[in-house]
Each structure stands twice: as structure tokens, then as C-alpha cells.
Amino acid sequence: MVNDQMQTFIQKIPKAELHVHIEGTLEPEHMFQLAEKNAVRLKYPSVNKLRNAYRFQDLQSFLEIYYEGTNVLITEQDFYDLTWQYLEKRYLENVIHAEIFFDPQSHLCRKVPFEVVINGISKALEDGEKKLNLSSKLIMCFLRHLSEKSAMETLEESIPYKDKIIGVGLDSTELNNPPSKFTEVFQKAISFGYLPVAHAGEEGSPEYIWEAIDKLKVLRVDHGVRCLEDESLVAQLIKKKIPLTVCPLSNVQLGIFKSLGEHNLKELINAGLFITINSDDPAYFGGYLSENYLGVYKALKLTREDICTLVRNSFEASFLNDADKKSMLVKVQSFINQGLQ
């Protein structure tokens, strides 16, 4: 298929996204608008200067700007509006299901209550379900540069809102913050019924992926691209059918790979791993979900069938119940059968 046709195909095919941080969908214009409304001082004097600062050397240099951005989110309406803007984008590119991360600790530390964050996000998600027919689930991430004690306190705070949260995740500075630091809090979260996932093997070594599997009992690994450095790890991921939520544009923007053409996605697929495509922090990394698919399609010369497999995987690897999974996969297949009409 020529690129134009493929662009339309990718945009229209029903898709799921399993790795997107809601705070990472905050567009610079919205950030400035909220900063003014809430009288929060930003380090950058204009939208253009801020956008120019989106040149990251590594994960840490991104996180510094990302956390600065989150400072403008104060009221329930701010969280609602942030989420609603993401939902409108999803609607346009037919992302019919998403499992969305949020970082409560980056708000709690600024005295924004848990209740404000979760109510703003989940009210928007409920409206998205009703008005746009978009399905969503929420995953609460612990910030790994903070202590396990802080994660444990956050876990306790989440309990009254447990029905709104499907799982727990682990994000922020990976190097020197191994998954094993969070063994107890994950164990406790699992005992409460949360489904565990964790960022591992983005910048960190394959050992971190092993720990995420063995100590945190994760059901998916977020990123995980460094698994190819360890053959026995690849075998274990395949044996346990553990999906990887790969984020191509993010990986390039954070210097994990020099370009999309040098991304190891094809090797991951060819190794027999269970791979999905995701956007991570789309407002910062130059594209939402369709741009990630189209980017790798072009740069790695993927086939239309590769794209269809990755899209099916996005539903198979989700935390949807079997009936919802099946009905969404039927939508995917009927779109594929219909072709471009």
C-alpha cells in the first residue's frame, strides 16, 4: 500500500493503546492557558520557547520538563479538561480503547488531593464512554525515584477509588531504581485486586525486566526494548506470553534509538515477542498513536499485515474482559475485511 493509503488505513482502523500517560498528553498551549488561570509560573516564557526545549538527551532530561508541566494541573476541572482533550484526539484516530497511566504522587506532593485528580480524570472518561463510545481503564503509577513507603501511602489513599482503577504501574527515573525496590507495595496492590505492570528495560538493563516479572509479577512490561540483550529473558517473555508496550517515537526522542529506522521493533516481532505500539507522552514526543504506527511502517518497511497484527495485539494484550475484547476484535476484523471504502 502506498503511504497515503496506509496513513488513512492506520488512522481509521479501530485501535487500542496500553501505554499513555495522561500528564504526557498536556499540549503546550493548554499548559500555558492553565498556568495563567492558576497563576503558576513556568520556566519558559512562551509556547514556542517551551516547544524548543523539547529536545531531550535521555529520560531524566524529559522528566524534568514533564514534571514542571504537571504543576499547572490544580483543579478537578483541569484534570477533566486534560483528559477530555486526549479523548477528542482519540476519537479522531479511532483509538476505541485505552489503558491510561496517571501519576498521583506528582500531584499529591503539590497538595492536590487524590480525590481531585481521580474525579477529574474519571468523569471525563465516563463522558467519553457515553458521548464518544470510547472505552478506557486507568492505571495508577508509582514514581520509582521516590521511596517504597511513599508508594505504599499512595496505594492506601487509592483504596476508596479502587473501582475506578484497574491496575498499578511503575514509572519515572529507571536507572538506579530497580523494580525490586517496590516488591512489597506491588504484592499488596495485587492483594487488593490491582493488575500489575511496570516500565522496565527502557533505559534499564534486562535484569530490571527479570525483576519486574519475578518480583512484581507484572502482566505486561512497559517498553522492555532492551530484552533482546538476554536470550533467556526473551524465551521467558515468550513462554509467559508477556506483552511489551513499545513506544517508538518516545524511544527516539529519549535517545534509546538514534532514529525510527534504527529501532529494534522488527527484531522484537521476529523474535516472536508479543508486541504492541503505543504513544507514551504524545504531547512531548511529536505524535499520537497513528503517528507511531505510520512512523514505524515507513521507517522499518513493515507490511499491512504487520500493522494488522500489531493492532490485534493491542486488544489481546489489554485488560478488557473476554466479551469486550472479542467484540472489539470483531470490529477490527470487519474493518480489515472491508478494506478502505
Report the chain's terminal Cα–Cα distance, integer Å.
14
Site for ligand ADE in 264-303 (CB under 6 A): 280-281
Return d(Cα 226, Cα 206) in angstroms, integer. 6
Report the nearest approach of Zn ion to the CB of residue 66 (Å). Answer: 10
- Interface with Zn ion (CB under 5 A), residue total 1
Report the nearest approach of ligand ADE to the CB of residue 333 (Å). Answer: 31
Report the nearest approach of Zn ion to the CB of residue 136 (Å). Answer: 17
In order, the DSSP letters of 242-288 are: --EEE-HHHHHHTTSSSSGGG-SHHHHHHTT--EEE--BSHHHHT--
HSE at residue 76, side-chain half, CA atoms within 13 A, is 10
Which strand (E) or helix (H) includes residue 246?
strand 244-246
Closest CB to ligand ADE among residues 66, 335 = 66
> Which of ligand ADE, Zn ion, none lies near 76, with the C-beta cut-off 5 to 8 A by kind?
none
Q: Which residues are catalytic?
A: 202
Site for Zn ion in 254-283 (CB under 5 A): 280
Partner residues linked to 200 by β-bridges: 223
Entry field: residues in the chain: 341
Report the nearest approach of ligand ADE to the CB of residue 66 (Å). Answer: 6
Strands (E), 119-226: 135-143, 167-171, 195-200, 220-223
Sequence-distant (6+) residues with CB within 8 A of 205 are 226, 229
Cell 507511531 belongs to: 292
- Interface with ligand ADE (CB under 6 A), residue total 11
Q: Is 99 a residue that touches Zn ion (CB under 5 A)?
A: no
Binding mask 96-135 for ligand ADE (x = CB under 6 A): ----------------------------------------
Report the nearest approach of ligand ADE to the CB of residue 172 (Å). Answer: 5
Return d(Cα 260, Cα 298) in angstroms, integer. 9
Q: Which residue is nearest to Zn ion (CB)?
A: 280
Q: Is 314 a residue that touches ligand ADE (CB under 6 A)?
A: no
Q: Is 171 a residue that touches ligand ADE (CB under 6 A)?
A: yes
Are 249 and 280 in contact, with CB atoms under 8 Å apart? yes
Q: Is 172 a residue that touches ligand ADE (CB under 6 A)?
A: yes
CA angle centred on 311, ends 309 and 315, rounded to 5°: 110
Q: Is 199 a residue that touches ligand ADE (CB under 6 A)?
A: yes
Residue numbers of the site for ligand ADE (CB under 6 A)?
A: 21, 24, 59, 66, 171-172, 199, 202, 250, 280-281
Residue numbers of the site for Zn ion (CB under 5 A)?
A: 280
